[in-house]
């Protein structure tokens, strides 16, 4: 083989490698966008079928929202920008994972408050139960003895 043809073959091989690398880079980028798209879609509520995420729903509205997510990611928007886009239009309700802010403080803290209330109630009940009974007064003692005597007499008869 002549040196020139070796050079040409080498260049061709190099170009082929570069093309493959570029393609691999392209698919890796596509895969990354797709992953982000699905992650975002799983965080957003489908506003038509409200108990499904945008990722699960097959409603046309959810398809539109997925397409919009895709477009925005391709334009280089960040995940927060995409979530904000939908929140501005549909309100906080569109987020499956509501942010911690004054209007959601009660929402986030209510399970902990309920558990705390339960513990307080439990402790109070247990303490009341374990408290020793007050000693009876002489009068109460007499009445108790009377009752006990009458029942034991009835039993004897």
Partner 1 sequence: MRFVLPLAIFLGLAIMLGLGLQRDPRALPSALLEQPAPAIDRPLLEDQQQVLHLQDLRGRAWLLNVWASWCAPCRQELPVLAELSKRDAVAVYGLNYKDQPDKARALLRVAGNPYRASAIDGDGRVGMDFGIQGVPETFVIDSQGRVRYRHVGPVTAEIWRDRLLPVIRSLQ
Residues that bind partner 1 (CB under 8 A): 47-48, 50, 60-61, 64-65, 68, 87-91, 93
Residue 152 CB, shortest distance to partner 1, in Å, is 32
89 vs 145, beta carbon nearer partner 1: 89
The radius of gyration of the chain's CA atoms, rounded to the nearest angstrom, is 37
47 vs 73, beta carbon nearer partner 1: 47
> Under a CB-based contact definition with an 8 Å cutoff, are residues 54 and 86 in contact?
no
Distances (CA, A) of 41 to 13, 20, 67: 42, 31, 10
Cα 126 from chain centroid?
35
33 vs 49, beta carbon nearer partner 1: 49
| Neighbouring C-beta atoms of residue 63, cutoff 10 Å | 13
Residue 99 CB, shortest distance to partner 1, in Å, is 14
Residue 145 CB, shortest distance to partner 1, in Å, is 29
Residue 47 CB, shortest distance to partner 1, in Å, is 5
12 vs 61, beta carbon nearer partner 1: 61
Q: At what angle do helices 3-43 and 60-74 cross, to 10 degrees?
A: 130
| DSSP category for residue 115 | H
């Amino acid at each position: 083989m002549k040196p020139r043809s070796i050079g040409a073959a080498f260049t061709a091989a190099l170009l082929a490698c570069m093309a493959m690398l570029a393609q691999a880079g392209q698919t890796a980028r596509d895969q990354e966008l797709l992953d982000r798209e699905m992650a975002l879609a799983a965080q957003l509520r489908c506003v038509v079928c409200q108990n499904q995420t945008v990722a699960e729903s097959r409603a046309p509205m959810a398809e539109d929202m997925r397409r919009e997510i895709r477009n925005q990611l391709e334009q280089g928007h960040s995940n927060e920008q995409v979530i904000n886009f939908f929140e501005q239009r549909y309100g906080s309700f569109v987020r499956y994972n509501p942010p911690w802010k004054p209007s959601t403080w009660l929402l986030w803290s209510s399970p902990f408050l309920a558990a705390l209330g339960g513990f307080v109630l439990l402790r109070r009940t247990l303490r009341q139960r374990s408290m020793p009974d007050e000693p009876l007064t002489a009068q109460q003692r007499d009445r108790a003895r009377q009752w006990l005597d009458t029942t034991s007499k009835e039993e004897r008869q």
